[in-house]
Amino acid sequence: MNPGKILLVEDNPDDVTLTLRALKSHNITNEVMVAQDGVEAIDYLFGNKDRPAPSELPAVVLLDLKLPRVNGMEVLQRIRSEERTKLLPVVILTSSDEERDVVDGYSLGANSYVRKPVDFVEFTKAAQQLGLYWLLMNRAPPAPRGP
């Protein structure tokens, strides 16, 4: 299994708890970094004046769309526009199944689009499959050179 971290960009603490639980219940033990909005996500990935960017990128980003301050689409746009992160796997994990969002997400270069089911059993299944796929099945792009 890919030992990399997972970056979870999610503003709803309930969803954070449930997502972490769902991942854990399927023995996905990778470290999960939580960003509570778009700004935090960008700061984590690219660093800011207080903190440098991490030397190692996460294995996958689970990205909610509706976020305070900077929304998910903007985060995705930023990720794709930077040389260092343009190949970073990004999975949109959101409540919306608006066609518009799906189309926009893929247009901006999302690798997957998953709608969070209300049924928690279904949700854990989805989280398990996501983890299995992105951490086990999927061959990650070669690690970029340091920042």
- Give min distance, CB of 104 to other proteins, in A: 12
Nearer to other proteins, 15 or 43 (CB): 15
Query: Terminal CA-to-CA distance of the chain, rounded, Å?
Result: 25
The verdict on 121 binding other proteins (CB under 8 A) reads yes
Of 45 and 123, CB closest to other proteins? 123
Query: What are the two backbone dihedrals, phi and then psi, of residue 32, each rounded to the nearest 5 degrees?
Result: -110, 120
Tell me: does residue 31 bind other proteins (CB under 8 A): no
- The reply on whether position 82 binds other proteins by CB under 8 A is no
Q: Is 67 in the site for other proteins (CB under 8 A)?
A: no
CA–CA dist 144, 147 (Å, integer): 8
Sheet containing strand 32-35, edge to edge, reads 32-35, 6-9, 60-63, 90-94, 112-115
- Residues forming contacts to other proteins in the complex (CB under 8 A) are 12, 14-15, 17-18, 21, 65-66, 94-98, 116-121, 123
